[in-house]
Amino acid sequence: GPSDLSYSDVFKGKTVVLFGIPGALTPTCSENQMPGYVENYDKFMEKGVDTVACLAVNDPFVTSAMSKKVDPDGKILMLADGAASFVKAVGIDVDTGNFGGIRSRRCAMIVKDGKVEVFGDEGGTGFTDISSAETMLSKL
């Protein structure tokens, strides 16, 4: 089942590629953004990445359902930020109003030992190559 992870658990002493999605199981997130990370997972590992993680403001059961659908082998670490506390703390929150409330902006970052070294921010919920797996691979 779900378990709590601290910032240190995820980032300390590791190279992590983290991508933020506005909502698990939404079409753009599950059909366009996340599949690129799943398909390129081995390439990330070859470049020295320890973890590829997906951050969503959803409960862990929803992120788990998305993982089973998009990443059946469970390569991507799914991080559920149910209360949006992490996205608010690091300033990547977006208010989608009645559609879904506070969510993560669509973004991607390369984090080395807890320090963000590369940050690709879509600035909202839209998806371009800014937060794509291919762009993050090119930055490693």
Catalytic (active-site) positions: 29
Q: How far apart are CA 17 and CA 97, in angstroms?
A: 28
Pairing of strands 107-112, 15-21: antiparallel
Residue from 139, 106, 120 nearest 23 by CA: 106
- Coil, strand, or helix at residue 53? strand
